[in-house]
Structure 1
Amino acid sequence: MSILYSSRRSFVFGLVGAAAFAGRPAFAGEMLKDIAQLKPGDYTWHPERAETGPVSVVVSIPEQRVHVYRNGIRIAVSTCSTGKPGHATPTGVFVVLEKDKNHHSSIYDDAPMPNMNRLTWSGVALHAGNLPGYPASHGCVRLPVKFSELLFGVTHIGTPVIIAGAHTDPWELTHPGMVLSGYAEQEFEQVVSSLDGKKHPSDWAAAESYPVTSVIVSSADRVIELIENDRVVARSKLTLKGGDALGSHVFVLNGAANDARGLRWSAITHSAAASPAMRDDAVMQRIGAEPAFVEAMQTRMHPGMTMVLTDAPLSPDSRSGKDFVIVTTG
């Protein structure tokens, strides 16, 4: 049950810190100075802050910290160790492709990699390992043993992992009506009915046949693709209002917002540019697709569905096996 796209893709996402957008903080009550003072091997874990809903992970390379969110609320922070010089950890948008509690490296002398969440088939993963207090791995993200065990318990195949040159907290937005099409009263009822019959990602098991869904939107190609696991199941011409650029955005679907008759999304990352056209809450109003694509997406939507928007092209030679989209700063 792994998802798609390439470790060779060189999308340019501005994964740099910016907090220009409105929305409540995802880490109320947690002092930044406490996070900064964590010693190698230290972590925080507060799952009670958000007990259910989609999980997302943000790895900040400069901070050497891993931030875990559920339903857009930060529930954990940990120290980590990323790639050393010559073995830099790639930055970008990944998803968990495979989980193995007792994994051993096939590249580095059968080295143990407990609680492994694989991010690329070429060997990058989240796993337990030594934390000296600086980047020291061969490209993986090493975690404290206990934290890696806790993280392993809340991730699933398809959990989005953003490895960034800086850290930005997600914030929640509500899109009125249905994404990719104009608002229609019956549309909302259909989508809510569909979502109600599906489980949250925290309930999914790798052995289940229920697929993980992703949507990839490219302004360069004017194309939008719908992905189930590692397969493109629908493709449409992209309708883009109000200019040629989308900016760089990652969204995770949290569920229905019945009071607003819309859908609740967590905006995990965004570009540093703060022009109105680039805002997370405005960009979703600008995109549209053909009716057949919208219908296909409606039937497959689920809490935890990921939508990636980019101004880079989706070229065929950038696809390799079952890797997901990698959006890199380099």
Structure 2
Amino acid sequence: MALTAAPHALSRQVYKDATELQPGEFTWEPDLSPSGAVAVIVSLPEQLVHVYRNGVRIAVSTCSTGKPGHSTPTGVFTVLQKDADHRSSTYNNAPMPNMNRLTWSGIALHAGNLPGYPASHGCVRLPLEFSRRLFGITHIGTPVIIAGSHTDPWELTHPGMVLNGYAENEFEEVVASLDGKSHPSDWDSAEARPVTTMIASSADLQILMIENGEEIASSKLTIDGPPILGEHVLVFRESHPGQRGMAWHGISHHEDPAFPHRPEELVINRIRADQPFISLMQRKLHPGLVFTITDLTLHPDRRTGNDFVIMTVS
């Protein structure tokens, strides 16, 4: 296959293994999974960005993250704002093309210089052409996991709603609640629907529901078995009539330490919420909803303002 022309020398699509990518190079194969929920994983040790759509990796890019003294925070974020022609309000009006904002304090994905090592003030710099393509498939609410490593997503089909065990009789009710709801990437410019996220903390034994950045509900979290869960992100896909369940994609930041040899998706069977919270979740459920499970506290110091959770800080 021929190389695709890029806007500048340090941004080009190539066809090689991810481990062989040089600074500024990226792979991009969207036809491997043409539609569905997108999740982005930034691996700090690899200095690579992995893009998954419907659980299939469609792209890998080199990147440059925070230099010493300006570390890129690790954890789970969602895209809060998008601006194709953004300029920094902190660093001399510096251009930040194709900016996907992750925190209101200034962490974002954007195009920038790629020297082959961590060199930013905390942001994740990307090749210009890759940043343009990524900008085209993300939306407000797209999950971005910044981690010390990356793992491939796993699939989960759960009968009925999560958080209340295997309730197969709920399937038709949940499917009915999804009628007319689409994934945010499919919304047109006139649609202004709320993007819903949930965060469950084993440290606080609490689960929160956040809508457009504002907390709208909470519940006591009940855990079956040992009171540790690991770190996981679930992205809701759709109902699955064949298996009579709700289909999710999961990404584990850290596996369930209580059961390290069990399938990762079984962690969801160990947690419960109060019925009013579950009922609200059923009404709010939409394709692309992000559900984070963490062993860290939901204390404000672990959060980026009122938007989402930072699991850890590097």
Structure 1 length normalisation: TM-score?
0.85
AA of the residue aligned to 1:222:
L
Structure 1 102/220 Cα, relative in aligned 2: closer, same or farther at 3 Å? Answer: same
Kept after mapping to 2: 8 A contact 1:53/1:201: no
Q: CA deviation at 1:208?
A: 3.4
Please name the residue that 1:285 is paired with: 269
Please name the residue that 1:314 is paired with: 298
Q: Which moved more, 1:230-239 or 1:293-302?
A: 230-239
Secondary structure of the equivalent of 1:299?
Answer: helix
Structure 1 61/185 Cα, relative in aligned 2: closer, same or farther at 3 Å? Answer: closer
Secondary structure of the equivalent of 2:242?
Answer: coil
Structure 1 270/165 Cα, relative in aligned 2: closer, same or farther at 3 Å? Answer: closer
Q: Which moved more, 1:63-72 or 1:216-225?
A: 216-225
Kept after mapping to 2: 8 A contact 1:92/1:328: yes
Secondary structure of the equivalent of 2:35?
Answer: coil
AA of the residue aligned to 1:276:
F
Q: Which moved more, 1:40-49 or 1:196-205?
A: 196-205
AA of the residue aligned to 2:39:
S
Q: CA deviation at 1:65?
A: 0.7
Are 1:148 and 2:131 an aligned pair?
Answer: yes
* Matching residue within 75, 85, 100 for 1:92: 75
AA of the residue aligned to 1:283:
V
Q: CA deviation at 1:220?
A: 2.0
Structure 1 183/165 Cα, relative in aligned 2: closer, same or farther at 3 Å? Answer: closer
Kept after mapping to 2: 8 A contact 1:217/1:310: yes
Are 1:139 and 2:126 an aligned pair?
Answer: no
Please name the residue that 1:165 is paired with: 148
AA of the residue aligned to 2:308:
F
Q: 1:38 and 1:317 mapped to 2: Cα distance? A: 36
* Matching residue within 53, 60, 68 for 2:51: 68
Please name the residue that 1:201 is paired with: 184
* Matching residue within 190, 197, 200 for 1:214: 197
Q: String of CA shifts for 1:35-64, please: whole Å, max 9, x gaps.
A: 111111111111111111110000011111
- What fraction of aligned residue pairs are identical, expressed as a percent? 62
Secondary structure of the equivalent of 1:234?
Answer: strand
AA of the residue aligned to 1:297:
M
Q: Which moved more, 1:271-280 or 1:193-202?
A: 271-280
Q: 2:96 and 2:304 mapped to 1: Cα distance? A: 24
AA of the residue aligned to 1:172:
E
How many residue pairs match? The answer is 299
Q: CA deviation at 1:186?
A: 4.2
Q: 2:179 and 2:40 mapped to 1: Cα distance? A: 25
Q: CA deviation at 1:95?
A: 0.8
Q: CA deviation at 1:317?
A: 5.9
Unaligned runs of 5+ in 2: 1-14
Q: CA deviation at 1:218?
A: 1.4
Are 1:301 and 2:285 an aligned pair?
Answer: yes
Secondary structure of the equivalent of 1:284?
Answer: helix
Structure 1 111/161 Cα, relative in aligned 2: closer, same or farther at 3 Å? Answer: same
Q: CA deviation at 1:168?
A: 1.3
Q: 1:209 and 1:225 mapped to 2: Cα distance? A: 22
Structure 1 291/186 Cα, relative in aligned 2: closer, same or farther at 3 Å? Answer: same
Please name the residue that 1:235 is paired with: 218
Unaligned runs of 5+ in 1: 1-31
Secondary structure of the equivalent of 2:283?
Answer: helix
Q: 2:188 and 2:81 mapped to 1: Cα distance? A: 11
Please name the residue that 1:8 is paired with: none
Q: CA deviation at 1:312?
A: 2.1
Q: 1:314 and 1:186 mapped to 2: Cα distance? A: 33
Q: 1:283 and 1:207 mapped to 2: Cα distance? A: 38
Kept after mapping to 2: 8 A contact 1:201/1:303: yes
Secondary structure of the equivalent of 1:217?
Answer: strand
Secondary structure of the equivalent of 1:328?
Answer: coil
Q: 1:179 and 1:273 mapped to 2: Cα distance? A: 17
Are 1:49 and 2:70 an aligned pair?
Answer: no
Structure 1 221/279 Cα, relative in aligned 2: closer, same or farther at 3 Å? Answer: farther
Kept after mapping to 2: 8 A contact 1:270/1:280: no
Kept after mapping to 1: 8 A contact 2:41/2:146: yes
* Matching residue within 107, 120, 136 for 2:90: 107
Please name the residue that 1:259 is paired with: 242
AA of the residue aligned to 2:231:
S
Q: 1:306 and 1:190 mapped to 2: Cα distance? A: 21
Kept after mapping to 1: 8 A contact 2:234/2:249: yes
AA of the residue aligned to 1:128:
A
Q: CA deviation at 1:206?
A: 7.3
Secondary structure of the equivalent of 2:239?
Answer: strand
